[in-house]
Amino acid sequence: MMGIGNDLIGGLEQLMAKRVLTSRHLFRMVGESSHCWKAEKEIEQMYPGMHCLLLPSATIGLSLILESLDLKSGQEVLISPFGWLSNWSSILRAGLVPRFLPLDDDLQLHKKAVADRINHLTGGVIVVHLMGRGQQAIAEISEICRKRGVILIEDIAQSFGVTVRGQRAGTFGEAAWCSLNHNKMISTGDAGFILVNDAHVFSLVSGLHDQGCLIHRGKRWRSGKTLRPGLSLRVNELTGAVLRAQLARYHYIRNRIQLLHTSLSKVCENQLNLEVLHSYNGDIPFTVLFKRPKKCSYPVLVDSGWHVAVNVPWLAEVYTESAKGDPAIAKTIEILAGTSAIGSGFIDPYYAIEMGLNITDSHDEVDELIERLKTII
Ligand SMILES: Cc1ncc(COP(=O)(O)O)c(C=O)c1O
């Protein structure tokens, strides 16, 4: 078993899936009774001002967003070198050029770091909210992007429900994408959704996802005016139904992760003398991040495979180009090489979160975990 929402799959998901199978309505475009449509409306309530659309993955979501926004081939997109390779590949596949942004010791992106790197070639900025931690400067970054005429889009694949100073991450820019794959906060095994604030851009993305058609009250709407070539990327009702069950678990997941994080951070500081990175109000931090002490065999974030740009062979050239004359980019990789993560709700050795607590673990397991950690840290 793995993942956060995935580990909690149980009676509710079974009930919802059974309802769909019993009804034999697996196709989503049935109207307002559709589970996909209802899930989209539930998500829109959490993300005021945004239009939501379910898709087969977050990667597809970003690709359709890049195709629908006003970006020109060859323009640059600023993004941090810590995230997931699908973002960098979607940028390249869209004919755009990724350029890297530095992160600080706290893995935060500063507004000045963005402002200093916007130039005449910049078309967009991507802010990635990782590990259930919101990027705290997102409001200021959004202001800079607006003033400089650059598109801001947000990756909330790992940060469903996170808020920054009371506003949801994912509502600061023109659009956002979230993943529902097996590792995420809430999960349907695979799939994702996008959030878009502009109704016209949303209609373009909707059209691309269903042969040019729009959705009206949960039904496919063939509108002559907007019809243009599109694909078939609809998700089916089983995904929508399981998603509604997972959405019902959201508050439990948030509370549980925050509790695990608070107690685990305390013991990491007090019993292991670790220098722990803060969590901020509104975070749902599923790892406790800490500065790795010298002489310790626990993995560091730079060991997390395709989460770090320098580990992706086809990004080598892009990385070298970004790092040229920009020591802050090399410094970011150094910071990732000196920072580690213990799970506070999620364990994944590939993500260098080798040990920790799962969402289903109880507080009693903290002591046993600390004893194990004492032997290696
Ligand atoms: C930060 C981040 N962005 C994007 C994605 C892509 O999500 P998906 O697998 O739904 O395409 C992931 C998935 O792991 C991710 O972690």
Identify the residues whose C-beta falls under 6 Å from ligand 1: 57-59, 83-84, 86-87, 128, 155, 157-158, 179, 181, 192
pLDDT at 369 over 80: yes
Average pLDDT, the chain: 96
pLDDT at 225 over 80: no
Least confident of 206-210, 229-233, 321-325: 321-325
Average pLDDT over residues 31-50: 98
Q: How far is the CA of 286 from the centre of ligand 1 (A)?
A: 16
pLDDT reported for residue 2: 77
- Entry field: residues in the chain: 377
Q: Are 36 and 235 in contact (CB under 8 A)?
A: yes
Q: How far is the CA of 87 from the centre of ligand 1 (A)?
A: 8
Q: Which residues contact 128 (CB under 8 A, 6 or more apart)?
A: 79, 80, 82, 83, 87, 135, 154, 155
- H or E stretch covering 216: strand 214-216
Distance CA 300, CA 154 (A): 25
Distance CA 203, CA 226 (A): 8
C-alpha of 66 from chain center: 16
Counting ligand 1 atoms within 8 A of each CB, the residue from 86, 109, 301 with the most, and so the one to mutate, is: 86
CA neighbours closer than 13 Å in the CB half-sphere of residue 306: 8
Q: How far is the CA of 376 from the centre of ligand 1 (A)?
A: 30
Q: Are 257 and 286 in contact (CB under 8 A)?
A: yes
Least confident of 214-228, 232-246, 279-293, 334-348: 214-228
Counting ligand 1 atoms within 8 A of each CB, the residue from 63, 178, 181 with the most, and so the one to mutate, is: 181
Full-model pTM: 0.98
Instruction: Reduce the DSSP state of residue 226 to 3 states and report it.
Output: coil
- H or E stretch covering 97: strand 97-100
The two tokens of residue 281 are 């109000």
Instruction: Report the atom number in ligand 1 closest to the C-alpha of 130.
Output: 1
CA neighbours closer than 13 Å in the CB half-sphere of residue 285: 26
